[in-house]
Amino acid sequence: MSLLDVRDLSVVFQRRGEQSFTAVDKVSFSVEPGQTVGLVGESGCGKSVTSLAIMGLLPRRGNKVTGGVLFDGTDLLQLRPNDMRDRRGRDIGMIFQDPLSSLNPVVPIGVQVAEVLERHRGMDRKAALKEARELLDAVGIPDPNRRLKEYPHQISGGMRQRALIAIALACKPRLLIADEPTTALDVTIQAQILTLLKQLVDETGTALIMITHDLGVVAGLCDTVNVLYGGKVVERAARHELFARPRHPYTHGLLNSVPRLDSPRGEPLHAIRGSVADNIPWAEGCAFAPRCNNVVDACLEGTPPLESTATGGDLRCNNPVSEEVAVP
């Protein structure tokens, strides 16, 4: 059985007197223990909302979450708020995008790490701080004794993200959700953080949901990749399969728009025309149709279903990119 099974998860934002907006539309995917699953897409395609819905962190009012999030057989959406609170941080950890704003600015790092240990593992402050020291050491923060007493603004961005990872992994959760963990960091630090995440995930056997728009991150880390567009999964494939033979025009476009060092100087960058905001609220047809190069008449009439492909993935497209065309 999968560790996490997301079934037909939908999130609809609804405000009185305003048109409702479907941010996540029947998204299904599953995560096996120890596996790393990527959720990829542009800004606004529903990645973060999906993760917040899994964690039960969406605001109580103004939205409707339907479907199921089965964690180890329990539907997290049906849990009472108090039970869900007990699970957050203990069974499921989460790493956020901006390490500076995700740490409490007036509490020393050590206390913030210790807080989780006190909360979920019932440690007293002294034992928790000792454990916190070891955790900071484990995520590669030099001189952890000193850092324990320091405040978030006093340490570097990379170290803050390491501290956040230490906090998220403090209770050895079985699932870790990383919401764009490297976006706010510079490239050298990004690589370090990704290496660290990979190493920790391998060591502890924690399953990882990697939410990112960075295909480089996906290439380095994920086992399977879900490409999201307009709140829907448009393509799902194993990592190598996705990079070697992207089938959905959106995936193809994403991979094409990554600038390459070995392309000729004069060659223009390939962008997908338009932007996500062009087609909100989404019309009847395929959400990607207005931006798609492969668009056919059927695309405008209804959303194609998500169908299994010969290579073991899933695809939601009427006119996929032919299998022979590999990304240059």
Contacts 24+ apart (CB under 8 A), 303-309: 303/232, 306/232, 306/233, 306/236, 309/237, 309/247
Residue 150 in contact with other proteins, rule: CB under 8 A: yes
- The token pair at 92 is 């499921």
**Amino acid type, 27:** V
Least distance between other proteins and beta carbon 88 (Å): 4
Q: Which is nearer to other proteins, 120 or 316 (CB)?
A: 120
Residue 55 in contact with other proteins, rule: CB under 8 A: yes
CA 243 to chain centre: 18
Q: How many CB atoms lie within 10 A of CB 74?
A: 13
Residue 104 in contact with other proteins, rule: CB under 8 A: yes
Query: For other proteins, how many residues bind (rule: CB under 8 A)?
Result: 36
Q: Taking each helix axis as running N to C, give the angle between helix 157-169 and helix 187-204, from 0 to 180 degrees, rounded to the nearest 10.
A: 20
Q: Which stretch binds other proteins (CB under 8 A): 102-110, 185-193, 194-202, 301-309?
A: 102-110
Least distance between other proteins and beta carbon 7 (Å): 22
- Could you give the string, one character per residue 106-135, with x where binding to other proteins holds by CB under 8 A and - elsewhere? xxx------xx--xx---------------
Q: Return phi, psi of residue 195, to 5°.
A: -60, -45
Closest CA to 204 of 138, 130, 143, 123: 138
Q: Which stretch binds other proteins (CB under 8 A): 100-108, 202-210, 247-255, 256-264?
A: 100-108
Least distance between other proteins and beta carbon 325 (Å): 41
Q: Which stretch binds other proteins (CB under 8 A): 63-71, 131-139, 146-154, 305-313?
A: 146-154
Q: Kindly tell me which residue out of 27, 37, 103, 132 binds other proteins, with binding defined by CB under 8 A.
A: 103
Q: Kindly tell me which residue out of 20, 43, 66, 101 binds other proteins, with binding defined by CB under 8 A.
A: 101
Binding site for other proteins (CB under 8 A): 55, 57, 85-90, 93-94, 96, 98, 101-108, 115-116, 119-120, 143, 146-151, 153-154, 164, 167-168
